[in-house]
Amino acid sequence: MQKKTTTRKKTQPNTEPTITYTAPVEEQHNIIFKPNAGPQTDFLAAGEREVLFGGSAGGGKSYAMLADPLRFMGHPAFSGLLLRHTTEELRELIFKSQEMYPKIWPGIKWSERKMQWTAPSGARLWMSYLDREDDVLRYQGLAFSWIGFDELTQWPTPFAWNYMRSRLRSTAPDLPVYMRATTNPGGRGHHWVKKMFIDPAAYGVAFEATDIETSEVLRYPAGHAKAGKHLFKRRFIPARLSDNPYLAEQGDYEAMLLSLPEQQRRQLLDGDWDIKEGAAFTEFDRKVHVVEPYDIPSNWVKFRACDYGYGSKSGVIWFAVSPDEKLIVYRELYVSKVLATDLADMVLELEAGDGNIKYGVLDSSLWHKRGDTGPSLAEQMIMRGCRWRPSDRSRGSRVSGKNEVHRRLQIDEFTEEPRLVFFENCTNLISQLPALPIDKRNPEDIDTTSEDHLYDALRYGIMSRPRFSIFDYDPMGPPKRSMQVADSTFGY
């Protein structure tokens, strides 16, 4: 094991210190553990408060987790906690630590009764389990400067992770506090881990956690709602089997992973977080369907689609149509508890610089007056200047819309590209689309109890017969059979 030194570099404000690893020349011939170049080294050197090291199986995650707290075992005030979900799973980590630790820290002692390592300096590392949610009460009143969760997706909810964050503190000014986790995609906690660590930023890029929990942050436009106070930084570091040369070069482990069913293979070999058991859109591939934002030419047709809800959520997405009639989703708006008129104002504000939006498609139920004499919600939005026409909600439209999403996600055999892509700033839609489950009672549709508001807006948009040519129809002119106007009163 290389000895480590903590160095504080001059950085921009609000950045945290990085940790570098060096070994004296006279000791480099007797290194017990040396991290693999790449993600494993990045994980051990990460300065963010909360870091997830995850991805494909065989990436060296468990050894990295065991090595990480050792940098602090020379500090007498250090108290660490390494958790697994069950005692059976914990036993494997204990065996590995018993192989490593005495060689790295001479004099370190293991107590089977306390399940604790104690270094000659007095530093302690407790290895324990956390099975049920009420098990967190065993740690009430305790304080740790380092907490690690091995195989984080084994916890079905974020309750344990969030509670243990309250146990994270240090009284020594030279002893930083960290939470670390490792995991593969899949497992009961796949969804919340993905929303907390994977979806908010590109792989390997640090981002700010806020007082509005990451999994619940909505993308409000500036000036309409608080984005949340920045608290500390998080980061996801992906791992691949190829990053572990000792295991990858053998070939046997990779062959075993290749023999798995497609879903498990994509999770455990490719480290794919966008595949989920029972998912409706298995064609979705972040590497293929998500692109960096770029300036859309002014002569491209643009339009929008919306699924409105006040008690639930409202989803609005904006499309552009390329000359080869590929659809580009370039913006999203995802809000809750917003009146229809306020949503109309927000939409108009966001698209003010987009040029001419050719049309908008809105959930047709918003034209239903339900016996009221006043204007419908759709009419209220139109009177604010945010014009719409109703979506197709005829019988069979849900199945037709789902089939069209499948068609556009598939790779075109001639262009070798998909017919639908998303700008990477559309984080909510990118997160939700691959997670949508199939309806078990009707496999031709998605489960409508899932979070499907942005999907519905997507479906409304792609079923609106979008064309690149601006001469396909005139929304203010006589209606065509394929493009009926929304309302005889408003003519749109």
Q: Count CB neighbours of 387 within 10 A.
A: 21
DSSP state of 465: -
Indicate left, alpha or beta for 385 from its phi (over 0: left) and psi (-120 to 50: alpha).
left
Please give the C-alpha separations between residue 208 and each of 95, 215, 293, in angstroms, as whole numbers: 36, 13, 21
Our CA angle for 366, 367, 370, nearest 5°, is: 90
Q: How buried is residue 175: exposed, middle or buried, by Cβ count under 10 Å (0-12/13-18/19+)?
A: middle
DSSP-derived letter for residue 296 is P
Q: What is the structure's pLDDT at 22? A: 41
Q: What is the dihedral of CA 277, 280, 283, 286, to 10 degrees?
A: -70
Tens digit of each residue's pLDDT, the chain (492 residues):
444 443 333 333 333 334 443 434 444 456 667 777 778 888 999 999 999 998 766 657 888 899 999 999 999 999 999 999 988 889 988 999 999 999 989 999 999 999 999 999 999 999 999 888 888 888 988 999 999 999 998 898 899 999 999 999 988 989 999 999 998 887 778 888 988 998 888 888 899 887 655 334 334 443 344 455 778 899 999 887 665 666 556 666 556 655 666 666 666 666 677 766 677 888 898 889 999 999 999 889 999 999 999 888 999 999 999 998 999 999 999 999 999 999 999 999 999 999 889 999 999 999 876 556 678 999 999 999 999 999 988 888 899 999 999 999 999 888 889 999 999 999 889 988 888 888 878 888 888 877 889 999 999 999 998 887 655 544 444 444 334 444 444 444
The pLDDT, as a whole number, for residue 218 is: 39
Number of CB atoms found within 10 A of residue 257's CB: 17
Tokens 């950085």 correspond to 11
Q: How far apart are the first and last CA of the chain?
A: 70
* R_g of the chain computed on alpha carbons: 26
pTM over 0.75: no
- pLDDT for the residue 59: 58
Phi, psi of 132 (to 5 degrees): -95, 160
Rounded to 10 degrees, the C-alpha dihedral 249/250/251/252 comes to -160
Superfamily of domain 4-277: P-loop containing nucleotide triphosphate hydrolases (3.40.50.300)
Tokens of 424: 């990477």
- Return the half-sphere exposure (C-beta side, CA atoms, 13 A cut-off) of residue 186: 16
Angle at 243 between CA 242 and CA 246, to 5 degrees: 80
> How far is residue 393's CA from residue 376's CA, in Å, rounded to a whole number?
17
Q: Is 466 exposed, middle or buried (0-12, 13-18, 19+ CB in 10 A)?
A: buried
The residues, ordered by sequence, that sit 6+ positions from 75 with a Cβ below 8 Å of its Cβ are: 121, 123, 172, 174, 175
Place of tokens 């075992």: 73
Rounded to an integer, what is the distance from CA 136 to the centroid of its chain? 25
Domain 288-462 has CATH 3.30.420.280: yes
Cα 273 to Cα 40, 276, 285: the distances in Å are 19, 8, 10
* The pair of three-digit structure tokens given for residue 285, joined into one six-digit string: 């591939």
Every domain of the chain and the residues it spans: 4-277, 288-462
What angle, rounded to 10 degrees, do the helices at 397-409 and 453-462 form? 80
